[in-house]
Amino acid sequence: MTEHQPLPLVVKDLTFQYHTRSSPAIKNINLSLEPGQVMLLAGSSGCGKTTLMRCINGLIPHSYHGDMTGEILIHGQSTEGVGLSDISKHVGTLLQDPERQILGTYVLNEVCFGLESQGMLREEMLPKAYKALERLHILHLKDKETFSTSGGEKQKVALAGVLAMEPNILLLDEPLASLDPASAREALLAFRELANEGLSVMIVEHRVEDVLAINPEKVLYMDDGEIIYNGDIAGLLNAVDYSRIKLPAPVIARRASSFPVPAFNWTVPEIDPLSEPLVSFKDVHFKYKDDLPEVLHGINLDIRAGEVIAILGHNGSGKTTTVKHALGLLKPTSGKVLLEGVDSRKSTVATAAKTIGYVFQSPSQMLFAASVREELAYGPNNLGFSPQQVEENVDWAIETVHLEEELPTPPLALSFGQQKRVSIASVLSMRSRVLMMDEPTAGQDYWNYQAFMDTILQTPGFDAIVFITHDLDLALIYANRVVVLYGGTIVADGHPHQIFQDEEMFKQWRLLPTSLLKLNQQLWPKTGQYMRAEALSQFIS
């Protein structure tokens, strides 16, 4: 009789409480993962998903300290007392924020880093590194400096470094957060392929609808540190709170039909095309170094009062580079950027901040203060606001992102999703005329990103809002203008309904139609506007 092999991963009665917290982050967690399985772990921001992954990969207790009870078994062996290097031979982890995972100067060096640290010879490393880069369709980046890669490219590079190690358990924390739709689909197919080859894959992701496309064998839903659903896809679609995680639009519309539609009273403002632009790009070209290829090719773009602009485009298309020019963080190689009529070469970033509030893609590039309250007060204090105005701005900003209870907490002690909301609030508190946000929904659950976007749009004070996003539905619901970049060039600019009609061009731009877009297009004769899935429920027979 053949003896059964132990499962790759078993978690038994796991509870963990950080020393800095008054209550457990996770409680009584029980789960198992078999070879060849994909497990989706979903839940609202801050519910304990990342803490669970830290326990499995050994970052808890080695890097994050607290009180842990229960047991974690990797291939039948307890991880208690086992070092990080030994756990990493079996468990590969992609962190939420790739900025914190990348150490190498060049892409190929980064992908080889883990293999090199194991003492592997160069002739053994390179085939593994090339295989990982090819699997994610980024072999062309192998000689590129990591600092000059886009946020989405960094995500792929970090993932390639994990895949090159050939772990048999793969933990992926928000792996799609910075990826364009086509790249996200390619990454998911790669995860499915790895599982089919025998790996055990756990995916923590807010983009639930995307992950469901690869048919995960197990789906878990966490809330307030506990697993409240553990089953299959069909059960998830009916069991969980559809206002908390983003389910397919037809499912949300069907389930919402029994409940009142939430009010969203934002009125699209009239935009005067002859008004003076707040920001104006005039034939902007840009390259990071003289010996590097040009990144932007003749950008012409005016941003006027009343506009809510979504900037879409593939990873590396130049979205973040473009927006950084508006604030003066980058200066054009040729052409010019005017901020309220002043050339960006003649103004400082500090001066520009009075007009433009900019939320970086990675919160770790912004957060530094000892507490969330200090973080939010820093900007308005530097802009010379009165103490009373600072206090009012901080209160409004923290309420907008629903993190009032975290005001005394160090920002970097929060989850990635919560850090992202703090970085947004730190810019909101400055009350700049133009709000620019790079991937504002990265790491955010469905309820939180709708709540703060609703509040921002319904609150007077911002003359214009610009957001970079890979979330097509965010652009669909909130933007009154969509700008698409492809290869450093603006290839489309107009009203969402105008831009979203051509599915063939979508594919060329590495964008993919979502279930919400398809449902809106189907119901357009009845609605005459793009709406969120909950609101569409009233138009479905």
What is 355-420 written as a DSSP string?
Answer: TEEEE-SSGGGT--SSSHHHHHHHHHHHTT--HHHHHHHHHHHHHHTT-GGGTTS-GGGS-HHHHH
**pLDDT over 70 (residue 2):** no
The whole-number pLDDT of residue 347 equals 85
Do 31 and 113 lie in one domain? The reply is no
**Average pLDDT rounded to a whole number, residues 75-81:** 93
Per-residue pLDDT of 222-250, as tens digits, reads 999 999 999 999 898 888 888 888 899 99
Confidence category of residue 71, pLDDT binned at 50, 70, 90: very high
The whole-number pLDDT of residue 248 equals 93
Count CA within 13 A, CB hemisphere, residue 205.
Answer: 27
The whole-number pLDDT of residue 267 equals 65
% of the chain surpassing 70 pLDDT: 97
Distance CA 303, CA 310 (A): 11
Collapsed DSSP state (helix, strand, coil) of residue 97:
coil
- Does the residue 530 lie in any domain? no
CATH number at residue 183: 3.40.50.300
Do 503 and 432 lie in one domain? The reply is yes
The whole-number pLDDT of residue 324 equals 93
Distances (CA, A) of 204 to 75, 88, 249, 293: 21, 18, 20, 36
Do 57 and 121 lie in one domain? The reply is no
70 and 15 in contact (C-beta within 8 Å)?
yes
Provide the token pair at 37: 């399985």
Provide the token pair at 35: 């070879």
Counting the structural domains of the chain, the total is 3
Distances (CA, A) of 330 to 46, 223, 264, 286, 323: 34, 42, 36, 9, 9
**Average pLDDT rounded to a whole number, residues 467-490:** 94
- Does the residue 539 lie in any domain? no
**pLDDT over 50 (residue 215):** yes
The whole-number pLDDT of residue 266 equals 61
Do 498 and 443 lie in one domain? The reply is yes
285 and 300 in contact (C-beta within 8 Å)?
no
Do 450 and 431 lie in one domain? The reply is yes
- Does the residue 532 lie in any domain? no
- Does the residue 98 lie in any domain? no
Do 201 and 156 lie in one domain? The reply is no
Provide the token pair at 430: 């400055």
Do 293 and 386 lie in one domain? The reply is yes
Backbone CA torsion sign across 58, 160, 472, 234: negative
**pLDDT over 90 (residue 192):** yes
- Does the residue 519 lie in any domain? no
Query: Which of 70-84, 352-366, 384-398 has the lowest average pLDDT?
Result: 352-366
CA torsion, ordered 48, 50, 52, 55, to nearest 10 deg: -140
Do 121 and 217 lie in one domain? The reply is no
The whole-number pLDDT of residue 264 equals 60
Distances (CA, A) of 146 to 98, 149, 158, 257: 11, 5, 10, 48
**pLDDT over 90 (residue 421):** no
- Does the residue 507 lie in any domain? yes
- Higher-confidence residue of 249 and 96: namely 249
Report the chain's C-alpha Rg in angstroms: 23
**pLDDT over 60 (residue 103):** yes
Provide the token pair at 484: 């698409």
Distances (CA, A) of 128 to 118, 385, 501: 13, 55, 42
| Average pLDDT over all residues of the chain | 90
Do 116 and 181 lie in one domain? The reply is no
- Does the residue 244 lie in any domain? yes
- The number of angstroms, rounded, from the C-alpha of 359 to the middle of its chain's C-alpha atoms is 13
Do 146 and 181 lie in one domain? The reply is no
Distance CA 107, CA 295 (A): 18
The whole-number pLDDT of residue 465 equals 93
- The number of angstroms, rounded, from the C-alpha of 130 to the middle of its chain's C-alpha atoms is 26
**pLDDT over 80 (residue 209):** yes
Distance CA 45, CA 450 (A): 13
For the beta carbon of residue 54, count every other beta carbon within 10 angstroms.
Answer: 22
11 and 30 in contact (C-beta within 8 Å)?
yes
**Average pLDDT rounded to a whole number, residues 126-142:** 92
Q: Would you call 460 exposed, middle or buried from its count of C-beta atoms within 10 A (0-12, 13-18, 19+)?
A: exposed
- Does the residue 139 lie in any domain? yes
User: Tokens 């669970």 appear where?
Assistant: 52
Single-letter residue type at 31 = L
Do 221 and 358 lie in one domain? The reply is no
The whole-number pLDDT of residue 137 equals 87
Query: Which of 18-32, 63-77, 146-160, 398-412 has the lowest average pLDDT?
Result: 146-160
Provide the token pair at 489: 């060039």
**Average pLDDT rounded to a whole number, residues 63-79:** 94
The whole-number pLDDT of residue 290 equals 87
Per-residue pLDDT of 402-419, as tens digits, reads 899 999 999 988 887 788
363 and 416 in contact (C-beta within 8 Å)?
yes
**pLDDT over 70 (residue 265):** no
Single-letter residue type at 71 = E
Query: Which of 266-270, 332-336, 416-420, 504-508 has the lowest average pLDDT?
Result: 266-270
Q: Would you call 426 exposed, middle or buried from its count of C-beta atoms within 10 A (0-12, 13-18, 19+)?
A: buried
User: Tokens 């800095």 appear where?
Assistant: 20
Count CA within 13 A, CB hemisphere, residue 194.
Answer: 31
Q: Is the pTM of this model over 0.75?
A: yes
The whole-number pLDDT of residue 1 equals 38
The whole-number pLDDT of residue 261 equals 64
Confidence category of residue 3, pLDDT binned at 50, 70, 90: low
Do 17 and 117 lie in one domain? The reply is no
Domain limits for position 126? 104-166
Backbone angles phi, psi at 178, to 5 degrees: -110, 10
**Average pLDDT rounded to a whole number, residues 309-328:** 93
